Amino acid sequence: MDCTEQENHIRVPHYGGCQLKFVNFEAEENTVSHETQGLSKAQLVVRRGKPFKLTLFFRGRSWSPLLESLWLEVCLGRLSERIPVRISDRSCCSLAWWAAVYPGDVHSQSVTVHLCSPVQSSVATYQLLLHIEDANCRMSYVVGTFVLLCNPWLKDDPVYMPLDVHIQEYVKSDYGLIYMGTHLNVRSRPWSFGQYEPGVLEACLQLLQVSPQHLRDPDKDFLRRADPAYLSRVVCAMVNCNDDMGILEGRWQGSYAGGVNPVEWSGSADILHRWVSSNCSPVRYGQCWVFASVLCTVMRVLGIPSRVVTVFNSAHDSDGNVKITEFYTSTGEKLGLSKDSIWNFHVWVECWMKRPDLGAFFDGWQVVDPTPQEKSAGIFCCGPCPVAAIQSRFLGAPYDASFIFASVDADVVQLIVRNGAVVGRRVDTECVGQRIYTKSVNSDRPENLTQTYKGMKRRQPVRRAHSPERRVPRSVRTEATEERLKPRSAVLFNSCPALLSSTPNNAPVMNTLSSGEIPPGLEVSLSIDGVPLLGESIRMCVTVTNHRSSSRVLREHVSAQVKEYNRSPQESFWTAHRELHLSPCQALKLHHIIPHPQYEAILTGDQVVNVAVVIKDLKTKERVLAVQEFNMSPPQISIQIEGGNGIQMNQEHTAQVSFTNHFPETLIGAVLTVKASGLLQADQEARLLILEPGEQIQKKVSIKATSPGTKLLMATLSHGSSPSIVSRTFHRVSVTA
């Protein structure tokens, strides 16, 4: 039956039976029982596989099961199912829709009905109809709508989580931490997922309605929405706008005019509200952590446990060979010749679910990555891919296992090129996937997930002969998988294809090192002293060890370049060269300092420094490369909330924001800006023409929250000597009703 063709209220002349007056959806009791408080004020939100109550009030007399039968009808578009209302004293099975009236629930003017969906019902907004029938006629009513979500509390639901503390963290919490920077200097920033903000649930449901899958075939899409793997793939593609009416447009370089710089976002609600209010036009702009955080919000709203995960030194393997090639000049400058790349950090999402399509081995956390990098089955999405498949190197597992494996475990082939020829080569098997972090449960500390992706012994294939129930089906292995399962040697010197591009002088790069050649005994390492602070000198140490029994005359070349976290570096802003003499078996430490004035004009707290050293033996022409990338720690902005970080809704509170100039130089035209979605009506600024070393600039603002949940205050400091933000600080505020 097509529900859309039914009238709201079909009257029958002279009908003497009971007639519906109104329906109470018992929202307060149902939302508490279903753990959906705060998701919506406009409609009832419940979870699948669990009964919920609605009270039917009648005009005239109440319903008599001896005289009339009651039927409920649930509708999704053109799909519908009629459910007889039975008198029962117990719940029925969760494999089909059922409706029951318990003894004692029939009163003089009302009756309470308990309605339950199948445990694997589709996530959607349902229309509910009521039919009252006797031997002669039928009265039909459209009684309202309700939203059905996944149920991680229910054991038979594919998203079931055994521990309630995990559900609280990965479904109900509206606050998270995003880890950024480099593996040498991990920084965290808070994010407000905002699932309890007004309109967010409705935006997430609208996202499903405007997906290509739904627009192409609504009935098929509705039916498939029972599967969390399908849902995650649809939402993943819809978070970016590359193929559809998605939420975010990405931009990684150039001007952010006409939109918002990705580093300025602090929560998902503002992004979702902008998308809805613009009639599903893409919001500008996003980068990986923004895409991932919005995806995490949508999945938590739909009831699928999710967490944001950061991979430090994440490889983007564009050609699918599970290797990343990098090029350096003979003086240590990194070249942007490769189509492959390594991001200092990359952020994706893990979603928790069973995978009956693959087998129990693949149940649990699944990688879902909405950042548009490569197409998967023709669309810009990635996953869901089981983390267990990555750890066990079963690269044939859907979806996109090979690409994700390369992101956390690819080899890096670093080539030194000169006059179009490869004059040195180094293979780093440990660089990629240095750390993999997510927020810990009930804590702001990071949880290290590295071993869940890479295992205890990276170079050994995982074998589980002693655990048959965990054995991966042979059917998911491909020839590429079997090849990848073979143990790899510690150092690879495969021949390099004649190479992706040309050197700056347009001479083609030729591979002149023979396969299997191992450089003779010269060892070079590069380390950074401590965590460099913006405004202070950068200090580093190059250690050169001569393992030969003869002396060496060497030439050292050191190069420092500024880069964004996901791109090739710019030209060198600092270099150093010197000649060295090493005695037999001698180790020499070479210290270098980059003063603040030499990077002040080009380096900000959001950028990364790539430092490389090339040591050349002047006699043998042997060259050895060592590389290190690091980020600077910016000076902190102080934010203090009067009375503490917990505030009451609709009450004014004062926030004191201040910055002390710890730079050795005077800052000209200092601007302290305070922003807070959900706390401030407009941005607030304090300006100071001259900010001397040690002097403070401050701003006092009045904040008031109109809805409960986690809000974020963001403060930034900029000055006229630098076009970029010098410091950015986020501060969490908990709002209670």
pLDDT, tens digit, 9 for 90 and up, residues 653-700 = 999 999 999 888 899 999 999 998 889 988 999 999 999 999 999 999
Q: What is the pLDDT of residue 722?
A: 67
Average pLDDT over residues 81-87: 94
From CA 458, how far away is CA 477, in angstroms rounded?
19
Q: What is the pLDDT of residue 527?
A: 96
Q: Is 14 a catalytic residue?
A: no
Average pLDDT over residues 478-483: 38
Does CATH number 2.40.30.20 belong to domain 638-736? no
pLDDT at 502 over 60: no
Residue range(s) in the chain whose domain bears CATH number 3.90.260.10 = 164-485
Assigned architecture for domain 164-485: Alpha-Beta Complex (3.90)
Strand partners, 580: 554
pTM of this prediction?
0.89
Q: Which of 34, 131, 183, 346 is catalytic?
A: 346
Q: Is 319 a catalytic residue?
A: no
Number of CB atoms found within 10 A of residue 140's CB: 20
- Return the CATH fold of 519-631: Immunoglobulin-like (2.60.40)
Q: Is 428 a catalytic residue?
A: no
Of 4-8, 296-300, 487-491, 676-680, the one with minimum mean pLDDT is: 487-491
Residue 660 · residue 698 · CB < 8 Å: no
Q: Which of 116, 280, 288, 385 is catalytic?
A: 288
pLDDT at 569 over 60: yes
CB-based contacts of 108: which residues, under 8 Å, 6+ apart? 61, 62
Q: What is the CA 239 to chain-centroid distance, rounded? A: 11
Assigned architecture for domain 3-149: Sandwich (2.60)
Average pLDDT over residues 640-645: 93
Residue 624 · residue 426 · CB < 8 Å: yes
| Beta-sheet pairing, 323-329 with 411-418 | parallel
Q: What is the pLDDT of residue 723?
A: 60
Q: Which of 369, 409, 411, 617 is catalytic?
A: 369
Band of pLDDT at residue 528, cut at 50, 70 and 90: very high
Q: How far is CA 268 from CA 37, 196, 335, 351, 732, in A?
A: 19, 11, 36, 17, 15
Residue range(s) in the chain whose domain bears CATH number 2.60.40.10 = 3-149, 519-631, 638-736
